[in-house]
Structures are given as structure tokens and as C-alpha cells.
Structure 1
Amino acid sequence: MVKNKRDLRFVKSQQRLYSAFEELLRKKSFDEISVRDICAQANTSRSGFYLHFEDKYDLVQKYQREFIEHGMQIMKEKKHLGIQIIFENVLDYLNTDGEILAILLSNRGSIEIQSQIKDHFRNNAQQNIFPKYNLKSGTDIENCYLTAMLSGAFFGILEEWIHQGKKETPAQLIQLMSENVIPSLKNSELL
């Protein structure tokens, strides 16, 4: 029997599993955590876990999908306010409701998951950042490397922010990126 994803018990059970996973990530690396650990932390059965997720990778993928969907909603609702406000709101969301993702971007995450997140950054750079700042090179290969450089810069800043304990506010981080990263790219020989 497939549960309705809008059923309050289903949602609460899934949130309990996310919370348990987050608590475990604070103590162990992703690779050290098993489904059994998550179930024990959430005080739920393995069959209860499998009602929601196929495995811990599926848990992360569904969490990422929810985060991205919410981030895209923020972008859609705030697009008239400019890219800096959009990114600030997305970082606020990461800071308050995206703790699992933040931990996965730290040394407790897995390389595989971090690679998936980097791919999302690249896609976002191509779809949202390049058009806003008119960052395009002539050839496909130049655009490929420009995308890698830009998304790598943003990802690196985000990783460092998390590693340093998120001391700066999202607004301060966005200001840093806007004042330093984008102008550096515009002034580089690639552009």
C-alpha cells in the first residue's frame, strides 16, 4: 500500500527520519551511517524507513530534491528583486532548513553526493547566473570551462563558509561573491 505523501503521519515520519539522519551526520561521516543507524536514531523500524526511502542515498536524493524545489520556488517568487536577493534567500534557507545539505558539503559528506551538488551548481550557473551577468564566451568549450570556474568559485565559497561555521550572514556572503567573484570573472582573460 502506497502512502499518501500529504498524510500528516507520513510527513512526520519522514521528517523524523531526516532529523535522525542529520543528528547522525553531526557525529559520523556519511559513509559510516547505515540504514540500521538511522532507524535506531529515529526510533522506527526498517520497514518504516523503506516506506519512505530505498536506502540512505535515496534519502539524500529526496532531501536534495525538496531543497532544490524550494530553492527554485524562492527564485521564481523573488526574481523581480534581483539575483543577490535570490541567492541571499536561498542561503538563508540553507542556513535554517538545509542543515543536512550543509553537513553533506562538509568533510562528513561523500564525494559522490558533493559531485551531484556541484552538478546542480553548474546547471544553475548556466541557467541563472550567466544570463544575469552576461557572462558568455564565444565557444562551447570556453563556456564549459567558464561554467566550471564560476560554479567552482561559488561552491568553494559555500564549502568554506560551512567549514568556518557559517559566521557571516547570507547577506555578507552574497556581498562578498558579488563584489569579488563576479568582477574577477568579468576582468579575467576568459571574458
Structure 2
Amino acid sequence: MGKADRRIKKTQDALKNAVLELMAEKSFDSITIQDLSDRANVSRGTIYLHYMDKYDLLDKLIETHINELGVRCKAVADLDFVSGSIIWTEYFEENHLFFSMMLASKGAPFFRTRFLDFLHEEFKDEVDVTQGKNKGLNEDMVIRFVASAYVGVVEWWFVNERPITHQALAEQLGALMDRNCN
């Protein structure tokens, strides 16, 4: 990575951190480009070199995390639900500021929808409606139920300031997934 590439990444990281820090203080709608500029210690022009506006910045931040969850999902494709959930909950823990702001605050309902849609796609191959407890049920409805429950539990975990360890969360989510997907 060249010097220019490092500077670009450093600037983008500063802006992503700035938006999260500001969301901890006030609603996303109240955040201005000047707020971002001041917090990230960059000029307004620099922000516009990287992003169209604050919504583009937030969208790129969300996209980064959704893509990373997708990468991790592919890496755990052959694991059981508990082991797979541990990979995700470790990521949630490592990036708790982002997920707290996206799920525990009212600042970014768009993220919740994107996360739910992502999980809906990821869980498609996990739900079987041809046999077992889910036999005869509408497949799309069961997938939406499981994905919504998963989002709800992760949201509960952040809203309540992570009342159990990420390992315990993973074990319990994995057990619930195992019960509802087989």
C-alpha cells in the first residue's frame, strides 16, 4: 500500500469514527458536514472527495460491516450454528461501537433493515420446510422469522449493554438456530 493509499484509508477511518462518535452524542439527522469535519480534523472539501454527503458516508460504513459479516459467514459455512455464531459475536464485540450505534439508537433504522435482509439471504439454506418441525410451513415466512429473531436478540444484547459475554450470546443463539432451522 502506497503513502497516498494509507492517507486515504486514514482519512476514511477518521470520518467513519467521527460519525459513530457523533451518533453517540446526537441523532444522525442533527449531524452536519461541519461536525464531521471538526471531529475528524479534515476539511469539508476532503469529506466531499470521499463521500457525496453524510448519508453516503453512513451507507459505506454499513456496507463495510455487512460485507465483512458475509465474508465471515462464508468462512463458517461448514460449522454448526454455535461455532458459526461465535465468529459473528466476536465481530459484534470487536465492533461494538458501530453495532451499538446502529442497533441501540434510533439513529440508523436503515442498518437494521439491511442487517435483516442480509440475514434473510444467509439463512435461506439453513431452513428446511420439507421435514421436521417446519414441515409444511411457508419457507419465506420461516426464514424471515429466524432472521428477525436473530436481529432482535443481537439488538437486545446491545440495547442492554451486552449483559452476557459474546460467547454466551453465541451459544444461546446457536442453540436457538439449531432448534428452529432443523
Aligned length: 178
1:31-42 to 2 correspondences below 5 Å:
31-42=29-40
Is 1:147 paired with 2:143? yes
Q: Is the 8 A contact 1:137 1:143 kept in 2?
A: no
Q: Is the 8 A contact 1:94 1:101 kept in 2?
A: yes
Q: Is the 8 A contact 1:26 1:103 kept in 2?
A: yes
Distance change >3 Å, CA 79–CA 22, structure 1 → 2 = same
Match in the other structure for 2:46: 48
Q: Which of 120, 123, 144 does residue 122 from structure 1 map onto?
A: 120
Distance change >3 Å, CA 33–CA 178, structure 1 → 2 = same
Q: How many angstroms does 1:165 deviate by?
A: 0.5
Is 1:25 paired with 2:23? yes
Q: Distance between the aligned counterparts of 2:99 and 2:143, measured in 1?
A: 22
Q: How many angstroms does 1:154 deviate by?
A: 0.5
Match in the other structure for 1:75: 73
User: Over the residues paired in the alignment, what is the CA RMSD in angstroms?
Assistant: 2.7
Q: Name whichever of 172-181 and 156-165 sits farther off.
A: 172-181
Q: Is the 8 A contact 2:102 2:112 kept in 1?
A: yes
Q: How many angstroms does 1:181 deviate by?
A: 5.2
- Give per-residue Cα distances to partners, 1:75-115, cap 9 Å, x unaligned: 33343443322221122112113522331111232333322
Q: Is the 8 A contact 1:67 1:98 kept in 2?
A: no
Distance change >3 Å, CA 73–CA 112, structure 1 → 2 = closer
The answer for unaligned runs of 5 or more in structure 1 is none
Q: How many angstroms does 1:161 deviate by?
A: 0.2
Question: What is the TM-score normalised by the length of structure 2?
Answer: 0.83
Q: Is the 8 A contact 1:74 1:89 kept in 2?
A: yes
* 1:7 alignment partner, SS class: helix
Match in the other structure for 1:162: 158
Q: Distance between the aligned counterparts of 1:64 and 1:55, measured in 2?
A: 14
Q: How many angstroms does 1:137 deviate by?
A: 5.0
Paired-residue identity, %? 23
The answer for unaligned runs of 5 or more in structure 2 is none
Q: Distance between the aligned counterparts of 2:54 and 2:176, measured in 1?
A: 37
Question: What is the TM-score normalised by the length of structure 1?
Answer: 0.79
Q: Which of 165, 172, 179 does residue 176 from structure 1 map onto?
A: 172
- Give per-residue Cα distances to partners, 1:39-61, cap 9 Å, x unaligned: 12111111111122112222122
Structure with the bigger RCO (C-alpha within 8 Å, sep 6+) is 2
Q: How many angstroms does 1:148 deviate by?
A: 1.7
Q: How many angstroms does 1:70 deviate by?
A: 2.1
